[in-house]
Amino acid sequence: MVQSFLSQDWYRVAAMRPRLRSHVEIHRQRFRGDTWFIVQDLHSGKYFRLSPAANLIASLMDGRRSLQKLWEAACEQFEDEPPTRSEVIRLVSQLHQADLVAADMPPDMAEMGRRHHDQTHKSLMGRIRNPLALRFPLFDPDNFLTATTWIVRPFFTTFGFILWFALVAAGVTLAVLNWGHLTGDLTDRILSAQNIILIALAFPIVKAIHELGHAYATKVWGGEVHEIGLMFLVFIPVPYVDASSSAAFPEKTRRAVVGGAGIMVDQALAAISMIVWVNVEPGLVRAFAFNVMLIGGVSTLLFNGNPLLRFDGYFVLADVLEIPNLGQRSSKYFWYLVQRYFLGDRDAQNPVTAKGEKAWFLFYSVAAFFYRMSVSIAISLFVAQKFFFVGTALAIWAISNVLVFPIFKGIIYLFTSNSLRGRRLRALSVSAVLVAATFGVLFAVPVPHRSLAEGVVWLDDGEILRAKTRGFIQTAPYEFGIVPAGETVVQMADADLDSEIRLASARLSEIQLRLDSVAGSDAVQANLLREQVRHLQGRLDLFEERYSALTLTAERPGRLMIPNAADLPGRHIQKGAVVGYLMADDALNLRVAVPQDMAELVRASIGVEIRMRRMPNVVLPAKIVGAAPESQPILPSPALSTKAGGPFALDPSDPQERRTLQSLFVFDVSPTIPALPAFVGERAIVRFDFGDEPIGFRIGRSLRQLFLTRFNV
């Protein structure tokens, strides 16, 4: 136990008499039942967390006590868990690197210059490594905020919270009551050219008010805000403020409120916009209010309110959980597990300092990594669609930051780290096995490959009953049922046609009598009358053909469906109007639309299954019976559009509402066994089985299709 206090470098620093600089303040806080101390650097705005033993040593640094005396005092005060000499050396080193302590010796100007250069370089590299969120400070708003804090102070009280809650509750209630109108045709409305302009105008305004929420929350409780600027988030200018002084607040609720103030402002703006949207007529004001709601909701869900990104939600979560530096310490804990249990590095430092932190560190490190990588790639692809080379460079840089650079650092660690001395062979062997296992899982282990698509019940032209002539419906004896061939399914009448037939018949009889009277005496007159007879006979035949068409019969046996047959009598319909449907009793044909990148796989599928939407438990084996030769951005049925609950977004500029934003291939699918009766236009889920394939090949195919479809390369 005594050996743990020793350090071979202690003699170098034992006589040093350090003192804290004047720009350092120490604040006391509680984290998970333990007392910690926060060191605040008033010059740089940075914060450092100290344990009680480390705080005692730092507090006693007055320039008169040696480091030996400071360590002995800490050991006497914390005799149950005394700090080791190595820990004291590490503490002094960290404070020295942060320029928080001075020693009883002339300042090393070269060392100070080097540290300043290192800090500047580190700050620059931090910006370069995150090109999707560049920050540019503008001015110091502290005096303005101090002068105007009295205006917003009432909102940071219990009454202000109740008022905010009532406002948000009213907005949520109105949103629920008008949910259908809000979300109807949502994708098409958002992507219209006019709406994109409104979003571009509303976004900076909403975010400016959002950042003022952070700033005023900090000022109300005595903090300082000395930086306001612009952050170019994916090249979009967004205001930001530096409210980091709230980290010194002793109450975690106040720190959480400062972190969540922007989210609360967004929700309040969204609620006010919801009230405006409900009460104004369609127009510019209503559209602007809709976009304010959209910005507040989407930004809260995906960015500011999401704790997996280091925005507002992250700081709120860290304060509520009482785990400071949650993201950084989670990453350290993940790599501690790797170093300790996979590589055998027993000297690896465990960042866990309190009960319950292990589970949070492990969950957050994994979840945040995948979410950040997904967001970075999605943003880079979005930019690349407009600016190919810029977007591609951003994508490469983002992937390098989250994947390539850590792997490169890991390789250097394996070959050069002194902590692996004596265990390097094991570390290299374990790493090689993990890499081999990863590649084996990706490229050697086949896994089932399936895909889902949506289709609609589709009829051939011969299965659609159309009126063969115009008229009034007299009877429609069937609505649903099985009918034999030749059965009358709709009887129509046309009083004008009856009159035309009687008139044509009478006129024909008259001309025929006149022809008989002159046939033997006047050849010229007889020829003229014969021509009139042929004309009248043709006209009478046409009328009789129309008359026979008034009776609509089943041309073959099948299952008859005439929607609302009881309401049809007395209704006038035009020639060609759809009256009903006559389908084969056991036939079912689906028209399925699939995205262009799935077409080749669907053509080569080895199995097809159908599940009707209204009967999801019934599985029908099926086969592909037809396919379109080329893709086209036209839906086979409006039922497959997002407007009707389908998967495909429509082009807002298409007045017929059939053109989609992506190219589609259309396939005809039919069950291989007798199917249950289905409704015309009914939706179904179709599953295509592509066999078993390793995940790595599927990822490669997806990447190749991505570049082909989006960038034509």
Residues 284 and 342 in one domain: no
Query: Do 636 and 686 share a domain, yes or no?
Result: yes
CA atoms within 13 A on the CB side of 315: 21
Strand partners, 601: none
Q: Identify which of 319, 311, 318 has the alpha carbon closest to the alpha carbon of residue 238.
A: 311
Task: Write down the pLDDT at residue 104.
Answer: 60
Same domain as 336, residue 240: no
Name the domain count of the chain. 5
Q: How far is CA 600 from each of CA 303, 690, 712, rounded to the nearest angstrom?
A: 36, 10, 18
Which pLDDT does position 188 carry in this prediction? 55
My answer on whether 241 and 316 are in the same domain is: yes
* Strand residues in 175-333 grouped as ranges (E): 228-233, 236-241
Instruction: Give CA separation, 681 vs 436, 613, 638, 676, in Å.
Output: 51, 11, 9, 15
* Residue 604 shares a structural domain with residue 540: no
- Residue 587 CA to residue 673 CA, distance in Å, equals 9
Q: Is residue 17 part of a domain?
A: yes
Last residue of one domain, picked from the residues 321, 355, 389: 321
Is residue 189 in some structural domain? yes
- Indicate if 204 and 312 belong to the same structural domain: yes
- Is residue 370 domain-resident? yes
pLDDT tens-place string over residues 536-565: 888 888 888 888 888 888 777 777 777 777
DSSP annotation of 62: B
Same domain, 152 and 301: yes
CA atoms of 48 and 30, how far apart (whole Å): 14
CA 441 – CA 698 distance, rounded (Å): 13
Give, in degrees to the nearest 5, the angle at Cα 333 between 328 and 336: 125
The tokens for 459 are 């009829």
Contact present, 665 and 596 (Cβ < 8 Å): yes
What does the pLDDT read at residue 3? 39
Residue 75 lies in a domain: yes
Position 381 scores a pLDDT of 67
Residues 219 and 278 in one domain: yes
| Within-domain flag for 455 | no
Spell out the residues 6+ positions from residue 671 whose beta carbon is closer than 8 angstroms to its own: 588, 610, 620, 621, 622
DSSP secondary structure letters along 70-86: HHHHHHHHTSSSPPPHH
Beta pairing class for 480-483 and 558-561: antiparallel
Let me know whether 375 and 489 are in one domain.
no
What pLDDT sits at residue 109? 41
Does the residue 453 lie in any domain?
no
Domain boundary among 74, 98, 122: 122
**Cα(487)–Cα(398) distance, rounded to whole angstroms?**
70
Q: Report whether 354 contacts 33 (CB < 8 A).
A: yes
| Predicted TM-score (pTM) of this structure | 0.64
The CA distance from 405 to 364, in Å, is 20
Its domain, for residue 508, covers 462-581
Confidence (pLDDT) at 688: 93
Label residues 665-701 b or e (16+ Cβ within 10 Å = b).
bbbbbbbeeebeebebebbbebbbebeeebebeeeee
CATH number at residue 593: 2.40.30
Whether residue 454 lies inside any domain: the answer is no
Q: Flag whether 25 is in a domain.
A: yes
Q: Which of 536, 563, 581 is the last residue of a domain?
A: 581
Both 262 and 181 in one domain: the answer is yes
**Percent helix, percent strand, percent coil in the chain, to nearest 5:** 55, 20, 25
Whole-number CA gyration radius for the chain: 39
Calculate the alpha carbon distances from 680 to 460, 558, 562 in Å.
11, 14, 11
The pLDDT score that the predictor gives to residue 568 is: 81
Phi, psi of 424 (to 5 degrees): -65, -40
Say whether 651 sits in a helix, a strand or coil.
Answer: coil
Distances (CA, A) of 695 to 438, 445, 692, 699: 11, 8, 9, 6
Which residues, other chains included, contact 650 with Cβ-Cβ below 8 Å and sequence gap of 6+?
A: 185, 187, 188, 635, 641, 642, 643, 657, 658, 659, 660, 661
Residues of the chain falling short of pLDDT 50: 1-4, 106-113, 116
Q: Which two three-digit tokens encode residue 649?
A: 């977004």
Tokens, residue 619: 């599985």
Distance CA(120)–CA(79), nearest Å, equals 41
DSSP per-residue string spanning 534-579: HHHHHHHHHHHHHHHHTEEE-SS-EEEE-TTGGG-TT-EE-TT-EE
- Dist. CA 126–CA 133, nearest whole Å: 10
Q: 621 with 535, same domain?
A: no
Q: Are residues 353 and 416 in the same domain?
A: yes
Phi, psi of 456 (to 5 degrees): -130, 150
Tell me if residue 291 falls in helix, strand or coil: helix
Structure tokens at 418: 């002194």
